[in-house]
Amino acid sequence: DMAYQSLLKSTRQQLHHHIAQVLAEQFPAAKATQPELLAHHYTAAGLIGQALPYWQQAGQRAVQRSANLEAISHLTKGLELLKTLPDTPERAQQELTLQLTLGPPLMATKGYAAPEVGEAYARARALSKQVGETPQLFSVLYGLWAFYQVRGEFPTARELGHELLMLAQTVHDSALLLMSHWALG
């Protein structure tokens, strides 16, 4: 650690960049099985744009394994790094995906009615409006509906249920229609 800390920051960044490149090129399985490792090295190299997809992938893999605290950690790291990038439509889309992925592990660890859950889905909704109609909008609205339903804020939950129904009818998706009718029920 002392030797590492004695290196110039630029030298440390170059080493992390080299390690990330070697991992990506010579160990392609690491991309799929240990995306958090590449995310860490790209982040330490100061290559935020290259690190973000790996933080997202690491969060998704953790969610699939029900490693919710790990998922929250990875996704939160990605969200923190996003704040350093300029506000562009691509950045908004990346943040929307991260926020939407963050919702379920927050629900699992803190409860459906936790303020953090509401914040994640409210931010995702604001980003959906900014980005425009996306396929993710139904999931955003459904997450918000669940948040307000469990909190007992039934008028707001009902409004969201109606939005879900209108969206499901617009896209003519029977599974979404079923979910929206269930939400209204």
Provide the whole-model pTM: 0.87
**Comparing C-alpha atoms, which of 71, 165, 164, 167 is closest to residue 120?**
71
Burial 112-134 (b: 16+ CB within 10 A, else e): bbbeebbebbebbbebbeebeee
- In this prediction, residue 112 has a pLDDT band, given cuts at 50, 70 and 90, of very high
Is the distance from CB of 85 to CB of 115 less than 8 angstroms?
no
Residues 123-173 have pLDDT tens digits of 999 999 998 877 899 999 999 999 999 999 999 999 999 999 999 999 999
Give yes or no for a contact between 84 and 62, defined as CB atoms under 8 angstroms apart. Answer: no
pLDDT of residue 168: 94
As a whole number of angstroms, the longest Cα–Cα distance in the chain is 63
Tokens of 183: 């939400």
- For the residues 111-134, what does the mean pLDDT come to? 93
Q: Residue 13 has what pLDDT?
A: 80
pLDDT at 4 over 90: no
Q: How many CB atoms lie within 10 A of CB 184?
A: 14
